[in-house]
Amino acid sequence: MKSVEIRINTINDIRNFVDLASRCSFEVDLASARYTVNGKSIMGVASLDKSKTLTVLMHTDSDADCADFIAQLKPFMVE
pLDDT of residue 76: 94
Contacts of 52 (CB under 8 A, 6+ apart): 32, 33
Could you tell me the pTM of the whole model? 0.91
**pLDDT tens digit sequence for 6-43:** 999 999 999 999 999 999 999 999 999 899 999 999 99
pLDDT of residue 77: 93
Mean pLDDT, the chain, whole residue set = 93
Phi and psi at 18, nearest 5°, equal -60, -40
Judge whether residue 62 has pLDDT over 90.
no
CA gyration radius, the chain: 11
Position 65 confidence tier, pLDDT thresholds 50, 70, 90: confident
pLDDT of residue 50: 87
Domains for the chain: give ranges and CATH numbers. Answer: 2-76 (3.30.1340.10)
Query: What would the DSSP string read from start to end of 10-32?
Result: SHHHHHHHHHHHHT-SSEEEEEE
pLDDT of residue 45: 96
